[in-house]
Amino acid sequence: MEKLELKKTLKFLYDAKPEPRMIEVPPLQFLMVDGSGDPNTSAEYQNAVQALYTVGYTLKFKAKKELAIDYPVMALEGLWWAEDMHDFSVARKADWKWTMMLSTPDFVSPSLVEAAIAEAGRKKPAGDLSRLHFATFAEGLAGQIMHIGPYAAEAPTIQRLHDFIHGQGHTFDGLAQKHHEIYLSDPRRAAPDKLKTIIRQPVRRA
């Protein structure tokens, strides 16, 4: 059995510090679901996350059984934006657009994902599997920082990251380079003040 230590090999992507820094993000493969609405109240959001994890774990066990390759299911990630970025605020979450994602190892193929989706649909229908797609996502140069605490208290951390990026001479528009969050903690188990969230912002190079 081959065991992929993704949390070690990709540590630089999933182990941010409280101080902002620039990193180069390589192209990665993701299971993705697109949607819109307030993540706190939207059934569409809950169904998207459920679909991702259902297929994510089906894919993991399928690879282990059929290919003798084991790997961890990685942290939930999300891209967030609004059609008009002036509306992208905590006061207007209903207007938010999002893509929720789970990264997969490089060996995973579209055909393996299709088979996992079909198997998940037969064994344990959950969420809306028809909305899930598989794609490579390339961010390139990005700034990132660790936020510890409630999601609703991210604003000062985000501002520190943005100030750092601009101080490096880079820029971003929030649409071509979307706000990216990586959720390292399970909000059902961790206290709000202990939640760990990586905040990443891809940039246009100076």
Q: What's the pLDDT at 119?
A: 92
Domains and CATH numbers, the chain: 2-202 (3.20.80.10)
Ranges of residues in the chain with a pLDDT under 70 are: 84-91, 124-127
CA 99 – CA 188 distance, rounded (Å): 21
CA 48 – CA 200 distance, rounded (Å): 21
170-184: per-residue pLDDT in tens?
Answer: 999 988 999 999 999
Q: What's the pLDDT at 23?
A: 96
Which is nearest to 104 in space by CA: 29, 4, 9? Answer: 29
CA 101 – CA 163 distance, rounded (Å): 27
CA 152 – CA 154 distance, rounded (Å): 6
pTM beyond cutoff 0.95: no
Which is nearest to 30 in space by CA: 109, 101, 129? Answer: 101
Return the DSSP state at 177. Answer: S
CA 198 – CA 94 distance, rounded (Å): 23
Contact 103, 200 (CB under 8 A): no
CA 179 – CA 201 distance, rounded (Å): 5
